[in-house]
């Protein structure tokens, strides 16, 4: 079971995040036509099939991205958002769909170093770019204090918007390793939580900063 295996410890959740990253297909060997289910050996064959069989349908495109440090070569449909490709093609569900219009921040990822709303970004626009998701942050030991602080302070209730907040927090700390509470509120102001966790994020991030920047002296 998902949650049982995730358990209480950091290591278990990280192991799962790590397993999900490892399970991402680096390159699709067999390509399935998304319209009729016929299978092909490569992108070229699929394109030819579209021209012959589905001339009026929008044809798939190739996409090369680095996701959480791993190079991926995918065949996607042009209208797919980055969020959809992460979920359907790569099995990464840390970016969540809440509003699907760029109005809530739950799907935040880091694209070429910048916080980005993956529901509001076409995957086809991301060719050649590097994407970092919450799973990638979770497996990087550098960010363990941040995740620890999030869990210690209940910076979540139902947990659905939490990964989006965590990614936005990480993006903030990349740019500003010692933010003030006001900086944090501003940086997280594009993320909607209905469970009332807003003050908890500032608390958790400030504590993580103490640990990460000042070596945890005040935290000990």
**Subset of 19-38 contacting another protein (CB under 8 A):** 20, 34-37
Per CB under 8 A, does 49 bind another protein?
no
Is 199 or 215 the residue whose CB approaches another protein more closely?
199
Per CB under 8 A, does 122 bind another protein?
yes
Per CB under 8 A, does 40 bind another protein?
no
Residues in the interface with another protein (CB under 8 A) total 102
| The two structure tokens encoding residue 27 | 């390159």
Per CB under 8 A, does 72 bind another protein?
no
Per CB under 8 A, does 12 bind another protein?
yes
Between CA 215 and CA 87, with CA 143 as vertex, the angle to 5 degrees is 175
Binding mask 167-196 for another protein (x = CB under 8 A): -x--x------------xxxxxxxxxxxxx
3-state secondary structure of 130: strand
Distance of closest approach, residue 195 Cβ to another protein, in angstroms:
5
Is 57 or 178 the residue whose CB approaches another protein more closely?
57
Closest CA to 36 of 23, 52, 15: 52
Cβ–Cβ under 8 Å, residues 116 and 127: no
What is the sign, positive or negative, of the torsion defined by CA atoms of 179, 138, 207, 166? positive
**Subset of 91-120 contacting another protein (CB under 8 A):** 91-106, 108, 111, 114-117, 120
Is 45 or 183 the residue whose CB approaches another protein more closely?
183
Cβ–Cβ under 8 Å, residues 75 and 46: yes
Closest CA to 170 of 206, 140, 200, 137: 137
């Amino acid at each position: 079971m998902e949650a049982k295996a995730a358990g209480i410890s950091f290591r278990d959740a990280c192991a799962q995040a790590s397993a999900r990253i490892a399970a991402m297909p680096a390159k699709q060997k067999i390509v399935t036509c998304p319209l009729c289910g016929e299978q092909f050996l490569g992108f070229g064959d699929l394109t030819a099939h579209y021209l012959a069989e589905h001339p009026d349908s929008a044809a798939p495109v190739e996409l090369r991205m680095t996701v959480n440090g791993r190079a991926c070569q995918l065949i996607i449909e042009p209208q797919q958002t980055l969020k959809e490709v992460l979920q359907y093609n790569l099995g990464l569900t840390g970016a969540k769909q809440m509003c699907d219009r760029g109005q809530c921040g739950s799907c935040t990822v880091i694209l070429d170093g910048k916080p980005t709303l993956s529901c509001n970004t076409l995957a086809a626009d991301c060719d050649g770019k590097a994407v970092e998701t919450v799973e990638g942050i979770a497996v990087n030991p550098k960010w363990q204090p941040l995740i620890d602080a999030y869990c210690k302070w209940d910076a979540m209730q139902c947990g659905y918007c939490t990964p989006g907040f965590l990614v936005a927090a990480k993006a903030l700390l990349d740019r500003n390793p010692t933010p003030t509470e006001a900086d944090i509120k501003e940086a997280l102001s594009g993320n909607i939580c209905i469970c009332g966790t807003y003050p908890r994020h500032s608390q958790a991030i400030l504590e993580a900063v103490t640990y990460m920047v000042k070596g945890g002296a005040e935290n000990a």
